[in-house]
Amino acid sequence: MTSTYQAWLNKDREWISAYCSRTRKSSLTKVVPLTLLLTALVLGGMGLLNGGGVSGLVTGVIGGLVFGLVICGIYLAILMPSLSPARYTQKLEQSVRELSMDETERELLGTEMLAALEDDKGVVSYQMTGPNSKGTPARVILTPHYILQEGSTPYAVLIRLSDIAEIRTGSERKIATTHGGSSKTHHYFTLYSIGFYRKDRFERGLEGNDLPDSAMGFFQEELRNDVVKRMRDGGLRVTSAE
């Protein structure tokens, strides 16, 4: 019989599998054909312009297709493993292991997560749209004893509310760099956060003004505020450091 915890992991895998499937399909039906077409046209055109005539054109097209296949092979070899749903599930399980849960608590976690997903009132779903993001699906799930953010960076942030002494909102100006060919572009943006401060932080030598033990980040202030509102509606006290 499948445990409640495993049933939740399976349901979560179904959620991210839809994104992985769409991305793989888009790569195979759009990126690969366009790459092959572009390399064939470029090298074929070079063969024609260099005085090779029809023979040079044909040779260039064939060479372009071969070159394109090599590029696509490397691209797919990197992309496909990263789009494995099991890889995302492993990251989610890692966030659970970091809280040192026993089997009983894992079952409680699974039960609450499944209930929240079924009810949907405790779920804030969105799409990553900031610098270096790829439109991946993301969401925050709020339950009576836990808060989970998944789809962001790091992929999964799991909070056990009984560990937390204080929750604060904040914001920080950041810079991200994107690369395109031989050029790079710097993007300046504001990251809006929810920081979680554990009860044992002073025992671990941390001060109240130090960085939070865990944090959830958002590119949109309105999105962060929506999550905070739902946390407050659920009885949590959230203060502002902004």
SS3 166: strand
Alpha-carbon span 227 to 223, nearest angstrom? 6
Helices (H) and strands (E) in the chain, counts: 6, 8
Q: Could you tell me the end-to-end alpha-carbon distance of the chain, in angstroms, rounded to an integer?
A: 49
Q: Which CATH class is domain 120-240?
A: mainly beta
Residue ranges of domains in the chain: 1-101, 120-240
pTM of the model: 0.81
**Which two three-digit tokens encode residue 95?**
């966030």
Residues of the chain with pLDDT under 70: 1, 132, 178-183, 205, 207-208, 242
The pLDDT value recorded for residue 177 is 72
Which regions of the chain does DSSP assign to beta strands (E)?
123-127, 137-142, 146-150, 156-160, 164-180, 183-198, 214-218, 239-240
Q: What does DSSP assign to residue 237?
A: -
The structure tokens listed for 29 are 């039906």
Cβ neighbours of residue 127 closer than 8 Å, sequence gap 6 or more: 135, 136, 137, 138
How many C-beta neighbours within 10 Å does residue 38 have? 13
CA dihedral over 103, 15, 121, 90, signed as positive or negative = positive
Cβ neighbors of 190 (< 8 A, separation 6 or more) are 171, 172, 173, 174, 221
**Cα 131 from Cα 188, distance rounded (Å):** 9
Q: How many angstroms separate the CA atoms of 188 and 190, rounded?
A: 7
Cα torsion angle, 93, 98, 102, 106, sign: negative
Q: Which amino acid is at 106?
A: R
**Count of other CB atoms within 10 angstroms of residue 164:** 17
Structure tokens at 18: 């839809």
pLDDT for 182 equals 60
Please tell me the predicted confidence (pLDDT) of residue 183.
Answer: 64
Sheet with 164-180, side-by-side order of all strands: 214-218, 183-198, 164-180, 239-240
Q: Which two tokens stand for residue 15?
A: 């959620």
